[in-house]
């Protein structure tokens, strides 16, 4: 009796894999999505909704308002002189000031002279800075992590918020979106 080779074929065909040019971007997207999910899950509870305007003084004794209605959307950045991530983000914030309303809050970074020295040493003098040496402003908004970005729309509502390292294009995109949404009404 002869056995037909085709009937006893026990060889396993290898699975077809996606080409590298498809697989790598998919893997990167899954990694980024997982990273963002973990960041959102572990992140602090940041304020939501409308925030009444809070009058504050910057280092140049100008009165600024955090929250409340404004002529344009505002990004408020909580940072510290001792924050490594902040050192990476602050230089590109200087460029953002030319196109958008930006307020920075130096959280628990010492007295005004210390913050001024830090700004001068790092070529950040163009940024409007509110000193918050004891963290009261930050605490009133539920901020306890640096860096923290709060994006206020024109009505004074917190439209977006993020903590940790972020990108210039991410901030610019949020500001563009809030400007766009403000012009639709």
Question: Taking Cα atoms as reference points, which of 129, 161, 126 lies closest to residue 46?
Answer: 161
Which residues does residue 74 pair with via DSSP β-bridges, in sequence order?
A: 101, 152
Q: What is the pLDDT of residue 7?
A: 54
- Give the chain's residues under pLDDT 70: 1-10, 36, 39-50, 182-185
Q: What is the pLDDT of residue 1?
A: 54
- What are 123-148's pLDDT values in tens digits? 999 999 999 999 999 998 889 889 99
Q: What is the pLDDT of residue 43?
A: 54
Task: State the helix-helix crossing angle for 84-96 and 168-184, rounded to 10 degrees.
Answer: 50
Q: What is the pLDDT of residue 185?
A: 45
**How distant is the alpha carbon of residue 65 from its chain centre?**
20
Instruction: Find all residues with CB under 8 Å of 4, minimum gap 6, and list them.
Output: none
Q: What is the pLDDT of residue 23?
A: 85
Q: What is the pLDDT of residue 49?
A: 66
Q: What is the pLDDT of residue 149?
A: 93
For the chain, what percent of residues have pLDDT higher than 70?
Answer: 85
CA gap 153, 70 in Å, rounded: 8
Radius of gyration over alpha carbons of the chain, in Å?
Answer: 24
Domain 49-184: give its CATH architecture: 3-Layer(aba) Sandwich (3.40)
CA gap 114, 16 in Å, rounded: 61
- What are 51-71's pLDDT values in tens digits? 778 899 999 999 999 988 888
Q: What is the pLDDT of residue 41?
A: 62
Distances (CA, A) of 117 to 7, 90, 139, 181: 83, 15, 25, 38
């Amino acid at each position: 009796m002869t056995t037909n080779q085709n009937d006893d074929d026990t060889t396993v065909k290898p699975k077809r894999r996606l080409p590298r040019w498809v697989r790598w971007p998919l893997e990167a997207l899954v990694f980024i999505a997982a990273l963002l999910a973990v960041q959102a899950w572990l992140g602090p509870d940041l304020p939501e909704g409308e925030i009444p305007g809070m009058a504050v003084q910057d280092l140049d004794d100008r009165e600024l308002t955090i929250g409340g209605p404004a002529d344009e959307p505002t990004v408020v950045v909580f940072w510290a002189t001792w924050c490594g991530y902040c050192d990476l983000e602050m230089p590109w914030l200087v460029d953002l000031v030319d196109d958008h309303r930006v307020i920075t809050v130096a959280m628990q970074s010492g007295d005004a002279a210390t913050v001024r020295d830090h700004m001068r040493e790092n070529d950040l003098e163009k940024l409007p800075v509110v000193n918050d040496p004891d963290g009261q402003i930050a605490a009133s908004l539920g901020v306890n992590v640096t860096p923290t970005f709060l994006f206020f729309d024109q009505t004074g509502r917190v439209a977006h918020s993020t903590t940790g390292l972020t990108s210039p294009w991410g901030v610019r995109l949020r500001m563009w979106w809030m400007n766009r949404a403000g012009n639709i009404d």
